[in-house]
Amino acid sequence: MNDDLSKRRLGRGLAALIGEMDQPTPVDAGRPGVNPDRMVPIEFISRNPKNPRRYFDETELYDLASSIRQHGIVQPVVVRTVSIDRYEIIAGERRWRAAQLAGLIEIPVIVRDVDDKTALEIAIVENVQRADLNPLEEALGYEQLIAEHGYTQNDLGEIIGKSRSHVANSLRLLKLPEPVRDMLAGGSLSAGHARALVSTSDPAALARTIVAKGMSVRDAERLAQNDIKAQNDPRPAAARKDEKDSDTLALERTLSDTLGLDVTINHRGSGGQVKISYKTLEQLEEICRLLERR
At residue 261 the predicted structure's pLDDT band, cuts being 50, 70 and 90, is confident
Which one has a higher pLDDT value, 273 or 240?
Answer: 273
**Is the pLDDT at 114 greater than 50, yes or no?**
yes
pLDDT given for residue 207 in this prediction: 92
**pLDDT, the chain, mean:** 78
Higher pLDDT, 244 or 170: 170
Q: How far is residue 271's CA from residue 197's CA, in Å, rounded to a whole number?
A: 28
Is residue 162 left, alpha or beta, with left meaning phi > 0 and alpha meaning psi from -120 to 50?
Answer: beta
Tens digits of per-residue pLDDT, 47-67?
888 777 777 778 888 888 898
pLDDT tier for residue 254 given thresholds of 50, 70 and 90: confident
pLDDT at residue 21 tops 50: no
Task: Characterize the bridge pairing of strands 45-46 and 77-83.
Answer: unpaired
Q: List domains and CATH numbers for the chain.
A: 5-23+32-132 (3.90.1530.10), 176-231 (no CATH), 246-292 (no CATH)
Q: How far apart are CA 87 and CA 80, in angstroms?
A: 5
Per-residue three-class SS string for 89-141: EEECHHHHHHHHHCCCCEEEEEECCCCHHHHHHHHHHHHHHCCCCCHHHHHHH
Helices assigned H by DSSP within the chain = 3-21, 58-71, 93-101, 116-129, 135-149, 153-160, 164-172, 178-186, 191-196, 203-213, 217-232, 246-259, 281-293
Report pLDDT for 178: 92
The answer on pLDDT for 20 being more than 70 is: no
Rounded to the nearest 10 degrees, the angle between the axes of helix 135-149 and helix 153-160 is: 120
Does the structure show a pLDDT above 70 at 147? yes
| Per-residue confidence (pLDDT) for residue 210, from 0 to 100 | 92
Q: Please tell me the predicted confidence (pLDDT) of residue 12.
A: 42
10 Å Cβ neighbour count for 5?
A: 9
| φ, ψ for residue 51, nearest 5 deg | -60, 125
Residue 45 in this model has a pLDDT that exceeds 90: yes
pLDDT classification of 15: cutoffs 50, 70, 90? very low
Checking if the pLDDT of 27 tops 70, the result is: no
Residue 83 has pLDDT above 60, yes or no: yes
Active site residues: 93
